Amino acid sequence: MKITSKIVSDHGLNLDEYKKIISLIGKVPNLLELGIFSAMWNEHCSYKSSKKHLKTLPTKNKKVIQGPGENAGIVDIGDNDALVFKIESHNHPSYIEPYQGAATGVGGILRDIFTMGARPIATLNSLHFGSHNHKKTKNLLNGVVSGIGGYGNCIGIPTVGGEVKFDHSYNENILVNAMAVGLAKKNKIFYSKAKGINKSVIYVGSKTGRDGIHGASMASAEFDANVEEKKPTVQVGDPFTEKLLLEACLELMKDDSIISIQDMGAAGLTSSSVEMASKGDLGIEINLNKIPCREEKMTPYEMMLSESQERMLLILNTGKEERAKKVFDKWGLDFSIIGKTTDTKNLILNFNNVEVANLPLSSLSKDAPIYDRKWKKNSITKKNTHKQDFKKINILDSFKKILSTPNNSEKSWIWEQYDHTVMGDTIQKPGGDSAVVRIHGKNKAVAITVDSSAHYCAANPVSGAKQVVSEAWRNLIAVGSEPLAITNCLNFGNPEKEKIMGQFVETIDGISQACRYLDFPVVSGNVSFYNETQNKAISPTPTIGGVGLIKNLNHMVTKNFKEIGSDILVVGKTSGHLHQSEFFREVLNIKEGPPPEVNLFNEKNNGLLIKNLISKKLLNSAHDVSSGGILIALSEMCLYSKIGAKIKVPRDNITMHEYLFGEDQSRYLIEINEKNKNQVIKTLEKSSVYYDYIGKTQKDSLNLEKEFDMKLSDLIKLNCSWFKSYYNEN
């Protein structure tokens, strides 16, 4: 077949890239070779638009065992235990086919975890849908949630946390970001780097089909009006096979059989073979006739680019083939020796005794294009110069409006579809500041959170990015954990547009600043570009997955109030920042202006003090103050515990509206009992941490002095009303 400019374009490559391919390999590629380049040089696999900037992120500290560059990041949690975790996007597939797109997103991220020798212990998700009244939203929401629950529940790994948000910018391009966490032993971690010559290359798992071909390339392209035609690019998942694959891999990992291992995720057999061999500076030769196929007459092109799920590529030590085959036979999985490592430094593919591809591995990996794309700084809108007149705006009405919006309403309808208790180690279920999962058989636990704040980032990418990292930090602190590290999923529009590339660059700057100051390194992640449809991009949406360690479960707290008559304090200064707040956006329909500034000194200082108070068992409960401000955070504590509160706003230089709904950062709500009150206050004052005393817990109602007294039953009804009404609509 003659390679035309249209064929090149259909493979997601431009003519300059095609010319570079010819120059690198010294020939015109055949269709198979072009397809392999297409898979390896797309944004999803090569990071060609982002790599330059990603290198500026802090990725190391004393706890980091493995940073970016492997299937997942790894941190040391003591006792020879290591935590393995990562977050990835499955945005485009989930929009095209929501159930399978979301399901295979879960399956893919789980393989990244157990590929490294870790048993997965938890999954989380960050979901962004279009406006609730958009014609597609309800079906997409149902499909995605069902897909996550269907895969996770069947494989038997708890879904312990997440977030669901709605905004018109996602009307034609939803975001489905999946995170997984696993537990490994420090001395039994497995990597993808190939080693040794003439070592057997083994294909294991499920058979190869025609599903998912060009999936990675599709994920690196904008949607157009013909989006339905892309359904064949979406993979089809089988959680029961994945469970068998997980157990078989972990069983084989108990001895020294495996040299290297890589899952067949994006770009399938192409990426797994290329990455393993190129990391080891070796060659690899594959006989495609040995590939287990579930469909007849599959071509080499289809075999190499298929993204059929539940498959792995292994390189084994000499003489371990029989042992490995017995393990995979036991679990009823395909096992085939498909090739060997070589010293050629080339990828060589044979089919029907004919060499059908021969490519230098360096051309596919090290020589992939890296772009320094033009970008421009985002203009930051200023605060309204005129002082808002809040006298005519009723606080109770505002509170009701915010608490009952799609983004702030109660979300148990979603997470109750996920099994969050399987494996028996979930200590804090969805709905808290962070999920908490016990390290099985021990008195320590891992805290996990996912967070995003797209409208902050749209208003100011640097400040917005610092905020979302800081919120992850606060959520981990609020349960009593030591924040360890983050993984990120960076969702943006077309990087070829200077404005969007600027959003990305400035977001990286904000993440870097926050992570460096907080000693909160980035150890894994994913970049998802081209999230736009017909030239309309999503809001810049960096999603941060954070993990922390609770060394002693006796030193853990939750956000629910514990007793009646205890004191409530706000830790951290409230200045009343309302721009980009829920109050401005939902009540006043004001969407311009800057997000709140993040003072990293206060963030760290306040957070470490809260952690110290928790470790000394001086707090009954704690909760970070974020979206919606103090009043929304307080109501969440009431709702979670079914204990009320009576509060009085301190008279300061700001209005009651600013105090209650302002979204200033670095703040926590804490509950303390009478016997600990003096010690807590003394500690706060000694540390020069600002605090306000605002009231006490009480029975039955949430009372704001001179403004309202709402029964808890009415509060619960209000918070739960949106989802119920949404699904009762015709």
458: left (phi over 0), alpha (psi -120 to 50) or beta: alpha
What sign results for the dihedral spanned by CA atoms 43, 48, 49, 55? Answer: positive
Q: What is the pLDDT of residue 225?
A: 52
* Long-range contacts (CB closer than 8 Å, 24 or more residues apart) made by 291-296: 291/203, 291/208, 291/336, 291/338, 292/203, 292/207, 292/208, 292/334, 292/336, 293/207, 293/208, 293/209, 294/206, 294/207, 294/208, 294/209, 295/209, 295/210
Provide the pairing of β-strand 159-166 with 175-185: unpaired
Measured CA to CA in angstroms, residue 320 lies from 251, 272, 287, 323, 355 at distances of 14, 21, 20, 5, 28
Q: pLDDT per residue over 678-723, tens digit each?
A: 999 999 999 999 999 999 999 999 999 989 999 999 999 999 988 8
Q: What is the pLDDT of residue 224?
A: 55
Q: Which residues contact 252 (CB under 8 A, 6 or more apart)?
A: 258, 323, 324, 327, 328
Low-confidence ranges of the chain (pLDDT < 70): 214-233, 384-387, 729-730
Place of tokens 């016997």: 675
Q: Is 44 a catalytic residue?
A: yes
Q: Which residues contact 354 (CB under 8 A, 6 or more apart)?
A: none
CA gap 329, 337 in Å, rounded: 14
Q: Which residues contact 565 (CB under 8 A, 6 or more apart)?
A: 674, 696, 697, 698
Measured CA to CA in angstroms, residue 610 lies from 85, 429, 596, 658, 681 at distances of 26, 22, 21, 24, 12
CA gap 622, 231 in Å, rounded: 46
Helices in 89-238 by DSSP H: which ranges?
91-96, 98-114, 137-155, 215-218
Measured in degrees and rounded to the nearest 5, phi and psi for residue 306 equal: -60, 140
Q: What is the pLDDT of residue 223?
A: 53
Strand, coil or helix: 535? coil
Counting beta carbons within 10 angstroms of the beta carbon of residue 675, is it exposed (0 to 12), middle (13 to 18) or buried (19 or more)? exposed
Q: Which residues contact 261 (CB under 8 A, 6 or more apart)?
A: 115, 190, 191, 192, 249, 312, 313, 314, 315
CB atoms under 10 Å from CB of 290, counted, come to 14
Strand, coil or helix: 298? coil
Provide the pairing of β-strand 283-287 with 334-342: antiparallel
CA gap 152, 159 in Å, rounded: 7
CA gap 245, 265 in Å, rounded: 14
Per DSSP, 68 falls in state B
* Inter-helix orientation angle 395-403/629-641, to 10°: 60
**Listed residue (488, 445, 439, 497) closest to 468, CA to CA:** 488
Q: What is the pLDDT of residue 729?
A: 62
Q: Which residues contact 673 (CB under 8 A, 6 or more apart)?
A: 563, 566, 567, 620
Which one of the listed residues 11, 90, 214, 579 is annotated catalytic?
90
Which amino acid makes up residue 340?
A: K
